[in-house]
Structure 1
Amino acid sequence: MADLTGTLCRCWRLTCSDGRVFAFTDHDARLSFDGADFSPSDAMTARALEQTTGLSVDNSEAIGALSAAGLTEEDILAGRFDSAAVEIWQVNWSDLSDRRLSFRGTLGEIERAGGAFKAELRGLTEQLNRPVGRLYQKQCAARFGDATCGMNADIYAVDVVVSRIEGAMIEVTAGTAPAEHYAFGTLRVLDGAASGQVVHVRGDRAADGARSLTLWDSVRGLAIGDRVKLIAGCDKRAATCREKFGNMLNFRGFPHLPTEDWVTAYPSGGAS
Structure 2
Amino acid sequence: MSNQPLMEVELYAFSSSNAQFFLTPHEFDVDLDGTPYTSLSIERNELALGAEAAKSALELKLPPSCDLVRHLLAASLTGDTTSVTLRIGRRDTWGDYWWLSGTRWMGRVLGVEIDADAARIRCESAQVSLKRIGLRRLYSRKCSHVLYSSACGASPITGSAFVLDVYGRNVELDRGVPGSVSGGLAGGWLQTPDGARHMIISDYGSGVELLYPVSIEPGAEVLLTVGCDHSTATCQSRFDNLDNYGGFPAIPSKNPFSTGVF
**Which of the five TM-score ranges fits, normalised by the shorter chain?**
0.5 to 0.7
Q: Deviations over 1:120-165 (max 9, x none)?
A: 665434536988245142x323222112211132xx1223222133
Change (3 A) 1:25 1:218: closer
Q: Which amino acid aligns with 1:242?
A: Q
Give 5+ residue unaligned stretches, structure 1. 67-71, 267-272
| Distance in 2 of aligned mates of 1:29 and 1:214 | 36
The residue number in structure 2 matching 1:102 is 104
| Distance in 1 of aligned mates of 2:61 and 2:235 | 44
Q: What's the secondary structure of 2:243's corresponding residue?
A: helix
Q: Deviations over 1:68-100 (max 9, x none)?
A: xxxx82425523598562332242514867822
Aligned equivalent of 1:213, options 199, 208, 215: 208
- Note the 1:52-91 alignment, pairs <5 A: 52-54=50-52, 57-59=55-57, 73-80=65-72, 83=82, 85-91=84-90
Change (3 A) 1:169 1:56: same
The residue number in structure 1 matching 2:8 is 9
Q: Deviations over 1:148-196 (max 9, x none)?
A: 211132xx122322213344333324333163132332223334xxx62
Q: Which moved more, 1:141-150 or 1:172-181?
A: 172-181
Q: Which moved more, 1:53-62 or 1:226-235?
A: 53-62
Q: What's the secondary structure of 2:222's corresponding residue?
A: strand
1:235 aligns with 2:229: yes
Alignment root-mean-square deviation, CA: 4.5
Q: Which amino acid aligns with 2:207?
A: S
Give 5+ residue unaligned stretches, structure 2. 76-81
The residue number in structure 2 matching 1:164 is 165
Report if aligned partners of 2:25, 2:43 keep a CA contact under 8 Å in 1: no
| Distance in 2 of aligned mates of 1:142 and 1:89 | 36
Q: What's the secondary structure of 1:73's corresponding residue?
A: coil
Q: Which amino acid aligns with 1:132?
A: R
Report if aligned partners of 1:7, 1:93 keep a CA contact under 8 Å in 2: no
Aligned residues: 241
| Distance in 1 of aligned mates of 2:102 and 2:137 | 37
Change (3 A) 1:7 1:214: closer
Identity %: 17
| Distance in 2 of aligned mates of 1:140 and 1:180 | 20
Change (3 A) 1:38 1:229: closer
| Distance in 2 of aligned mates of 1:245 and 1:136 | 20
Q: Deviations over 1:231-269 (max 9, x none)?
A: 112222222222222212212233445554999999xxx
| Distance in 2 of aligned mates of 1:189 and 1:218 | 14
The residue number in structure 2 matching 1:135 is 139
Q: What's the secondary structure of 1:79's corresponding residue?
A: helix
Q: Which amino acid aligns with 1:51?
A: L
Q: Which moved more, 1:232-241 or 1:168-177?
A: 168-177
TM-score of the two chains, using structure 1 as the length reference = 0.63
| Distance in 2 of aligned mates of 1:236 and 1:260 | 22
- Note the 1:197-208 alignment, pairs <5 A: 197-202=197-202, 204-206=203-205
Change (3 A) 1:27 1:94: farther
Q: CA deviation at 1:59?
A: 4.5
Q: What's the secondary structure of 1:53's corresponding residue?
A: helix
Q: What's the secondary structure of 2:51's corresponding residue?
A: coil
